[in-house]
Amino acid sequence: MNSTRITIAIVGSGLSLTLSAAYLAEKLQYLKPIILAVQLPEDESDEDFSFSFPPFSEPISPILRQQLAESSLRKIDLYTPSSPAGLGFNFSTYGVVSAGVSFPQAYQICVQNVADFPKYDRFLEEKAPGIIYNRKSVADDYRRLAVKKDVVLIPCKSVQVIKDEGKIISLETSDGQRVTADYFIDCSAKGKLMSCVQERVRVSDEIMPSWSVARKRISGVSSAISCTFKFASSQMISTINYGHTSYEKTADFNGGEANAEYFQFPWLGNCIAVGRGFAEIPEFLIDLNRILEKQLMVLSWLIGVNSQTVYSERHFNTLSNRYLDEAVDAVNLMLCGVGFARELTPSNQRRIALFQSSAGTVKENNVFISENSWTGLFHAAGYKPTNTNAFAASTSVNQIVGRTKSLISR
C-alpha cells in the first residue's frame, strides 16, 4: 500500500462498479489516489434497465444529469410514462396549495383560471418525461471513462476477505492476487465485503414482504421507447419497450428469496458499503443506483480529506440511512396502497396524517425524494387531502380565485 497516496479498492460488478470507479477518480483527482476496481462476475440485475418514473421517482442527481449531458454517455433516453395505477401532481407551482384549499378545489380553480392548464390525465406526459437506460451499455461507457482516468481493473471470479479485529486487511482474488487499500468500497450485490464485518438488518415483512423476480424479453415490438408498470394479484410488473424489444420484469410479493435488508453502519472502519452493497429493496419505484449516486457525492468530499474519521463515518452513515429510509417509505406506501404490505412505516403514518389534514408534505434538508414525488405517491396510493384548515373552509371561492390569480400573475 502506497504511503503517500491513498489507495481505494472498489469491489462489485456492472454499472455500480464502473460508475463508482469513474466518479471517484474524477472527484478525488486532486488527491491523486490509486483506484483499484475489483470486477466480480455480473448477475442478472446488471443487465436490467434503470428508469425514473415521475412523479414517483427521486430527483435527478448531478451524476445522472452529467450522464445526460456528456457526449460520451449518450445512451440515456427520455420516454413517456404511463401507469394504470393513477398518477397525481402538486399544485404548489400554481400557488394554489399555499392558498389553503382541498385537492378537488385546487384542480377546479386551476382549470378555470390558468390558461392552457394541462388536463389531469395528461399532466405527466407533458410536464415530466421519464429517464431510461440499459445498465450494461452505460456501464461499458463508464468502464472506458474509468480506464482513461487511470483506474486499474482487476477482473476475478470471487474474492476472499482477510480481516483482523473487524477491520479489512486485504482481499485475495480467486486467481491469487492480493489487494491492499486504505479504503474498501463495497458495491457488490448483498455487500460481500461488508457482510464480513457486520450483519445486515432486515426490514419487517409487514412493512416490506419478501419477493421474487422473474425476467423475460419479447422481440418484434414497436421501436418506441416506453415504460409501464401495473399491479396484478401479488405482482408488480414493469414493461419496457426499447429498440424493438420488450423487457418485462415481474416482482412477486407472495414470498420469495429476496428480502429488504441493509447495513446499519454503511461506513464501518475502512469498509464503506454503497448502492446495492449497502441495501436491498424492490427496484420498481426507487432505483438503487440513485442511492449509490447520492452516497458517492457525499463520499467524494468526506474520504481522504477529513482527519476526523469518526465524524466522516457518522455523517456518511446519517445521510445514507436517511436516503434509505425515504426509499423504504416510498416503496412501503405503494405496497400498502395495493395491499401487498400490511403495515405503514411510522414516518409514512405521520406523512399521510399531515397530507390529509393540510395537503402538505414534510420538508427537510438533504432530501432524497422531492415534495412533488411524495404528492404523486399519496394520490397514487389513494390518499387525498381534505380542506387544509379552518381559514380555507371559511373562505369564499371568489376570495380563493382572487388570491390564486394574484399568485399566478407574480
pLDDT at 381: 79
**Is the predicted pLDDT of residue 322 greater than 60, yes or no?**
yes
Indicate whether 320 pLDDT > 90.
yes
Cα separations in angstroms, 38 against 9, 18, 353, 363: 7, 10, 47, 39
Average the pLDDT over 312-320 and give the result.
93
pLDDT for the residue 100? 40
- In 3D space, the residue among 407, 392, 357, 359 whose CA is nearest the CA of residue 97 turns out to be 359
DSSP per residue over 325-364, as a string? HHHHHHHHHHHHHTTS-S---HHHHHHHHHHHHHS-----
**What is the radius of gyration, based on Cα positions, of the chain?**
23
Kindly state the average pLDDT of the residues 143-166: 93
The band of 321, judged by pLDDT with boundaries at 50, 70 and 90, is very high
Residues linked to residue 235 through DSSP beta bridges, in sequence order = 232, 252
Answer for the pair 139, 20: CB distance below 8 angstroms, yes or no: no
Res. 1: pLDDT tops 50? no
Select the more confidently predicted residue: 212 or 63: 212
If we measure between CA atoms, which residue out of 149, 139, 114, 140 comes closest to residue 33?
A: 149
Question: CA–CA separation, 370 vs 337, rounded Å?
Answer: 20
Cα 85 to Cα 186: distance, rounded to the nearest angstrom: 36
